[in-house]
Every structure is written in structure tokens, then in C-alpha cells.
Amino acid sequence: MSYNPSIEMTGNILLVDDLPENLQLLSDLLLTLGYSVRSVTSGRMALKTSKVKRPDLILLDIKMPDMDGYEVCQAFKADEDLRDIPVIFISALDDVFDKVKAFWSGGVDYIVKPFQSEEVVVRLENQLTIQRQKRALEDEISRRKETEEMLYQSRGLLTSVLNSVSDGIAAVQSVRDPNTGDIVDFRCLVVNPVIARFFERTREDLIGKLVVRKFLERFNPQLFKKLVDVVEIGKSLEEEVYYPLEPISWYQVIVVKLGDGFTVTLRDITCKKESKSHEDSTLSNQTNS
């Protein structure tokens, strides 16, 4: 594997080694490639600077005074704010035991000195890519959770509003003939309690069901054609409808196209109609007398 020094890579790298010459060698390499690099000579300094500015990745030597690399890595993994930072060990120790201990300490990779520059870059960039993908996934999960929470709250608010209003409110979707594309019925998507009582059913019995056409055929078959026109033409419908079945009533119906369906608002105007009829009757009697 070869790398092109003219191509800048990104990432905030922390180098931890007690030997300045080792730090200088790695720092020069990574700075040339465009990485942001910090160098410290002890594990305690690494922990302290990481709390101030979190690195994207740590290149960690093992043989150091005070705290060796294993202890430093364990300290990072024990810290809730720092445990997710990937640690790559880079050491002259080439024994299998040392490598196993490094991974048990929490390291994600192990590079043996003397190393090839290309090897360091490939292993480092591999871990950074994993971290970028992980952050992107976490961001996406977070956004989805926020969206789901907003939808949940919106549904709760919508349900509260639908349950509290005195008008009947429903949303339906067209059901079309697969061969002709003609609307043959409407499926209930949203139904509030007032509409459910109008159909003499529960909301659970109506949602997802095809009940509109069959219901309208009982008293006003022409209304079904008008509902189809709302969807196909897009022109809203507003009219007063007489319901001749028990209980005999008058309703104001407002229908508005919504996607391949419509929303309907049903308002009981029976009292208004009866009051107007009474006023008209009184006025007529006064005129005749």
C-alpha cells in the first residue's frame, strides 16, 4: 500500500510516547498528510489533554515510566467520556503475550516498531473510518429518535384534538380497481369518536376498513360520486346532507382532497335546521294572519 502525501486526510490524533524522537517521526508523517496532531510524553498528560480536547484517535506506546501503555489504555476505557476513543498501540514489543494484553486493555490495533509509514497510515485511517461511520450511524439514530418522538407527540396532540371536538372528523384513502384504476371505495385512516358514533361502530372497527360506500348506499348513493369527484378533480365539497334514518338529522359536510383520498368534517346542524324551520313557520303564520 502506498499513500499520496498530496492528499490531505482529516482527524485529530494524539501521540503518546516518552521518547521525543518517536513523537517527532510520527508527528512529521501525520502532519504532512493533513492530520491535526498533538504529542505528549506521559499517560497522565494524555488523559489530561484528552479531557480538554477530545482526540479522534490515540497512538500509544507501551513502555513508559509512571504509567505504561496498558494502564493508560485501561484508564481511558474506565472514563465514560473517553472510553469510545480508539487506541492503537505502537510498540517494539513483538511477543504474542504483549499483543494479547494490549487488546485486553482495550486497544483496537497493534503496530510493531520499526514500522512502515504506509502501515501506520492505513491502520490509522481504517479506525478513523470506523469512527466516522459510527458517528454517522449514531447521528442518524438520534435524528430518527427525535423524529419518532415528534411524531408520537403529534399523534398524541392530534388524538387529543380529535377526541375533544364536537364535529366528526375523518381521513380516508381511495381504494382503486387494479384493472381500471377507478375508485371503488374508501378506506378509513383516521376516525374520531363522533364519526364512529355516526357509523354506529367503534373507531377500531372503522380504521382500515372499507365502509364508506356501503354506508352511503343506505341513504345517499349520489354522495359517493361526489366524494370520488373530490379526489379525481380536486374540488372541495361543502353541502348540507339530510340523514333520513334514525335518528333523523341534518349534517353539514365539508370534504377536502388529501393525497389520493380526502378529509371530511361532519357537523350536526339539526338544531339549526329545526330552529330555522320554526322561525319560517312562525313568520308564515304571522303573514297569513
pLDDT value of position 154: 63
Fold assignment, 12-139: Rossmann fold (3.40.50)
* Cβ neighbour number for residue 176 with a 10 Å cutoff: 14
Contacts of 31 (CB under 8 A, 6+ apart): 37
Is the pLDDT at 122 greater than 50? The verdict is yes
Residue extents of the structural domains in the chain: 12-139, 165-288
What is the tens place of the pLDDT at every residue in 193-239? 888 888 888 888 888 999 889 888 888 889 999 999 999 999 999 99
Average confidence (pLDDT) over 112-116 = 88
What is the tens place of the pLDDT at every residue in 83-97? 999 999 999 998 999
Fold assignment, 165-288: Beta-Lactamase (3.30.450)
DSSP string, the chain: ----TTS----EEEEE-S-HHHHHHHHHHHHHTT-EEEEESSHHHHHHHHHHS--SEEEE-S--SSS-HHHHHHHHHHSTTTTTS-EEEEES---HHHHHHHHHHT-SEEEESS--HHHHHHHHHHHHHHHHHHHHHHHHHHHHHHHHHHHHHHHHHHHHHHHH-SSEEEEEEEEE-TTT--EEEEEEEEE-HHHHHHTTS-HHHHTT-B-HHHHHTTT-HHHHHHHHHHHHH---EEEEEEE-SSSPEEEEEEEEE-SSEEEEEEEE-HHHHHHHHHHHHHHHHHHH-
Q: Is the pTM of this model over 0.75?
A: no
pLDDT value of position 1: 42
